[in-house]
A and B are shown apart, each in its own frame.
Chain A
Amino acid sequence: MSDHPRLETLPDIPALVTPKLKGAASVCIVAGLISFVALLATDANRAWGGFLSGLVLPAWLSIAALFFISIHRITGARWHAPLRRLMEGLSAGIPLTAVGFVVLAALGAPYLYDWFFLAGSPEHHALFVTESKAAWMTPGRWIATGLGVLALWMFLQWRLVGTGLAEDGGAVIKKAHTLWSIVFLVLFAYTFTLFAWDLLLSLQVKVVSAMWGIYQFVGALQAFLAVLFLFAHLARRSSLKQVVGEHTLHDLGTWLVGLSCVWAYIVFAQYLIIAFANMDEETQFYLIRFQHGYQAMATVEVLLRFPIPFLLLLSQTTRTNVLAGTVAGLAIVLAAMIQLVWIVAPVIHPNGLPTFPLLPELAIVAGFLGGYVLLALRFWRKHGLVARNDPDLLPSINAEHLH
């Protein structure tokens, strides 16, 4: 299935020159900033809601990138070697979330979380039934947990990606990389869940879903794969023409189809159980998100997340097709952005918004995405697009793992 002749040595890889992408990312950032400032002047709640939706996206994508790097390392997978440096670059967004989190904690959180706003007042306790939860839902604990989690993620990203980069200098990294992969995989599930509960689920203090961490994480994995898929297509048109073969794109597409199915499964399972049981503390999550126009967002998101990529990439031939891959990838990325707005906006304006479909919020999220893309481009400019000394690189380019 390889679409190019066998390579004996790795060719020179030119830098990824993407002035249009850089321009688009910059436009997104500017649009996001303008939207944020404009909303801040008119409706601060909406502005901070959009800010929250946007700030988690770089961390979600970065953590998903680290997850894929780690899982491929510990399973000994070889197919992804041509994409490893792309993945490492796409893990560079955590600092952006960290900066956003600090700004949110300092200025925006009281606009979003009732329990944060009421902290220290007698009304704060009235929000909770138990003392222990009242003590847990406090600004101090929330900020400390958020900063701690982000610091841990940045440390793990530095170790994991740093170890990967050391290979460029000739170091043998397998043992150390495996070790850091294991450490990351053990820690990330718990910290990711904690962070997702703290930032998003706690917008409604009474809502509980044991699936929340998994739901967010699977969405992040799918969105990351879509971003990787888009960059793989993009890089294949120029710099990585000889490196990313059809078989690699095919494997990546298979992952994406699989993750789209898993996402649909998780979303449906969570919805079915909550809707069927019909308990107040759970159904209110969906109630406010399925009315006043928000249901349209949910429908669009589901369509973009599952049927479109599934049908587009199901066939082996379309899985490597540029157009199909681009449409599927863009659909998923857009859906991930819509999802984050859909989670946050209805809490702030449960009766619907005057400007639908939430374009300013989406622009803020796009701004964060633009920042994330620029960080990734900066990483690749500095460290190249390929892990040249990866022992699995040439065998993977030559599709040896398929024989």
Chain B
Amino acid sequence: MSSFTAQKITDDLTAPIFRRPSLAWVAGFLTSFALMHALVIAVAAYVWGGYGAFGVNSTVGWGNDIASYIYWIGIAVAGTLVSSILLLFRQKWRTGVNRATEAMTVFAINIAGLFPLIHTGRPWVDFWLIPHPNDLALYPQFKSPIVWDVFAITGYATTSVLFFYLGLIPDFATLRDRVNPKLALNLGFVSIPIGKLQRMLYSSLSLGWKGTAANWRHYERAYSQFAWISTPLVIGMHSTIATLLAVSLVPGWHASCFPPYFVSGAIFGGLAMALLLLVPLRSAFKLQEYITLDHLDKLAKIMLGVGSIVTYIYAIEFFSAWYSESQFEKGQFLYRLFGGHAWAFWLMLFCNVVCLQLFWFKRFRRNVWTLLFVAFMVNIGMWLERFNIIVLSLEHDHLPVNWNHYAFTGFDYLLLAGSFGMFFFQFLLFIRVAPIVAIAEVKQTLLHKTNHHA
């Protein structure tokens, strides 16, 4: 282990912000920016032509939008959960990964929030979901599980943004102090004082942070309290979404194991996304000393643990369906195995169960290519899991007259691809304005370790 100094840590972790963007970053940024427009096109087509722009039909009224919504919510859940739980359990290795996972949460949740708004069919009256007396003096129907979503998402988004922002405050102060105020972009006819603008931005965001003992005392207390609040909130939020499905009678949805199933699935998928972000990031920005193979190894181990829980629940769902003797439940699960979208089920099993088994071996957990491969496959698998739950259950419900095949339209593909574009666009933008590894927390951990060893 190289010896760390405060100066070195600050230099290393702020370098991605103050140096010129690399070609890889520019290429990634432009690609994701372009891809994000796929979402704009899809939404425009839907606003113009109505909900029929997507592949939903009279039976399968919940399609890509709800599957993608749950997928993105899952990604969002994992970020805060990993960060806050590791903080509560005093796991110091979290400092290598917590900023990236928290950022992932914030960007994923704003994408997730888009889908229910789209799903309402008339997004221009979505404000009716807000519980305030409207023109007709009506409040939302609180007994409707759909309304639970609104509270779950807004509550979770607020807390995760605050948790994320709070952690950033000392780092914004560091950036404020490192900005070169004389930096300017001279366009010939006008000079843009970039340095001053940057300093103004970081000064505002750092809320007058001075790094005094009082600052740190309040900060640490607030940060740990947010972790206490976030953990049950995040579990409750995703359980609410699971309950929304499970309280219905649709075969394939109504299973009492849904809340822990969704939460473990969310952590599983979210960790896969975190690996997908962290592995290239550490190479691109030369952060191997801060996001180490040990960090990736630990994330892979947690993935293996929660992935095993997910596998167990897959098995239990089938066993319960058989044990229940309900022809509808059994029919649903046989449909998943052999029906029109059976490929989606088998591919999900391959991605989430088979590929995951590589993580039993240390050499695969410490190999960046295997990590990337498994993380990529699990992301596909987790989206497919939501597709299987939502679409396949509706395709094959109680009444044979309702059995209908669901197919993506071109706009569905654009919507899905655009959501990934929007996610990576936000993430790539973020790593140019704030450190992707928490400087203040890394200093506390690594400097302590260095001094301790000395």
A residues lining the B interface (CB < 8 Å) = 74-75, 128-130, 132-133, 182, 185-186, 189-190, 193, 197, 208-211, 213-214, 254, 261, 265-266, 269-270, 272-274, 276-277, 279, 281-282, 402-403
Contact = CB atoms under 8 A, between A and B. Distances in A.
Nearest to A194: B319
Contacts of A185: 308
A269 B312 contact: no
Interface of B: 89-90, 232, 235, 239, 243, 246-249, 254-260, 301, 308, 312-313, 315-317, 320, 322-326, 360, 448, 452
A74 B89 CA distance: 16
Nearest to A209: B256
Q: Which 4 A-B pairs have the closest CB atoms?
A: A276-B247, A210-B257, A211-B256, A269-B259
B249 A208 contact: no
B452 A403 contact: yes
Contacts, number: 78
Given A214-B257, A403-B452, 8 more contacts: A189-B308, A209-B256, A265-B239, A269-B256, A277-B248, A279-B254, A281-B324, A402-B90
15 contacts: A189-B312, A209-B256, A210-B313, A211-B256, A211-B260, A214-B257, A261-B232, A265-B239, A265-B259, A269-B256, A269-B258, A270-B256, A273-B255, A277-B247, A277-B249
B322 A132 contact: yes
A68 to B, nearest CB: 14
A210 B320 contact: yes
A269 B239 CA distance: 8
A145 to B, nearest CB: 13
A187 to B, nearest CB: 11
B243 A269 contact: yes
**Chain A CB within 10 Å, residue with most, of B243, B247, B255, B260:** B260
A261 B322 CA distance: 31
A307 to B, nearest CB: 15
A193 B90 CA distance: 32
A279 B329 CA distance: 13
A130 to B, nearest CB: 5
Given A190-B315, A265-B239, A403-B452, A273 B323 contact: no
Contacts of B248: 277
B259 A210 contact: no
**Chain A CB within 10 Å, residue with most, of B315, B320, B452:** B320
B256 A274 contact: yes
A190 B312 contact: yes
B322 A273 contact: no
B164 to A, nearest CB: 23
Nearest to A215: B256
Contacts of B325: 128-130, 133
B258 to A, nearest CB: 7
Contacts of B255: 210-211, 273
B247 A273 contact: yes
Contact of B256 (A75, A190, A273, A402): A273
A189 B309 CA distance: 9
B18 to A, nearest CB: 34
B235 A133 contact: no
A75 B93 CA distance: 13
Nearest to B89: A254
Contacts of B249: 277, 279
